Amino acid sequence: MFRFPLLAATGSIARGEYFSPAKKAIFSSSSVFRVVSAVFTAKSFSSKVSPTQPPQLDRQKIKDALKGSDPDLKDILENSGNWAQQVCKGQSPNYLYIGCCDARVDPTVLMNVNYGDLFIHRNVGNLVCGSDLNVLSAIEFAVTRLHVPHIIVCGHYDCGAVRSSYKQMDHGIIENWIRNIRDVQRTHHVELNPIKDEDEKHRKLVEFNVIEQCLNVLKTGCVQRTRMKSYKEQGLALPRVHALVFDPAAGTLKKLDVNWKGETKEFDYIYNLYPEDGGNSR
């Protein structure tokens, strides 16, 4: 289990204990530290406009947000090794990150990686749907053009999309999307129905949803094809798929322990698009 850096003990951020060298350089700037840490204050999560008062437009806050990063940030990054030269050469990420749109789950802050290591795709509920050309295009591009060796699907507890899937109501246009999570609930109803505690059931469905989306990644033709080719050439099936869940309340990132070969074996005769591989790359 990884500790979420920005919710770690006071002083750890300044020392850079949870960051790669590039991030240590970024967070050594007190001005940048103030900007980032301010995001995680209690006020930023709980402040609401009083229903008895008209909303006030904070023009300065909007102006600050739209003007871009702290002016010192560019200098810090440019002085972090050969960062500028690497950026000019184009992207070469190590991970395709598929996550939820939830504003509390920022992958560039959540993951302990260097600048440019993540190729990011986000949608409501961190879903990988066979009918969604957006996510399928992201996977295809990341795997066949960027040659990422790892694919991460990251969900989170207290997920509104997952909670909505428990409600017997029509959510409008988003219902077409939420139904994919309802299908996960149906697939795992034997495990979920005996759970009486609603919060525990929610957390379990979050985890099942992440696992199912990882399986959907493994079902895609481009991933199967690339893994088969990689196994034949290197003896190692790449890209690897990882299931993660973030807990906003605890500030922890958990890796789910899943035997993907075991999970896919039962239905290989349905989803394996390359039976000549003999299942070696699964």
Reading the block at residue 264, the tokens are 């896919």
The answer to whether residue 159 is catalytic is: yes
Catalytic residue selected from 117, 121, 159, 227: 159
The answer to whether residue 150 is catalytic is: no
For the beta carbon of residue 155, count every other beta carbon within 10 angstroms: 28
Catalytic residue selected from 121, 156, 203, 242: 156
Determine if residue 154 is labeled as part of a ligand binding site: no
Catalytic residue selected from 104, 163, 182, 225: 104
- Residue that has been written with the tokens 């790669």 in this structure: 20
The answer to whether residue 100 is catalytic is: yes
Catalytic residue selected from 102, 154, 203, 277: 102
Angle among Cα 45, 50, 56 to the nearest 5 degrees reads 85
The answer to whether residue 222 is catalytic is: no
The answer to whether residue 104 is catalytic is: yes
Catalytic residue selected from 100, 154, 202, 242: 100
Q: How far is CA 149 from CA 9, 13, 226, 227, in A?
A: 32, 29, 10, 10
Q: Yes or no: say if 116 and 86 are a contact pair by the CB < 8 Å rule.
A: yes
Determine if residue 100 is labeled as part of a ligand binding site: yes
Report the catalytic residues.
100, 102, 104, 156, 159
Binding-site residues for Zn(2+), please?
100, 102, 156, 159
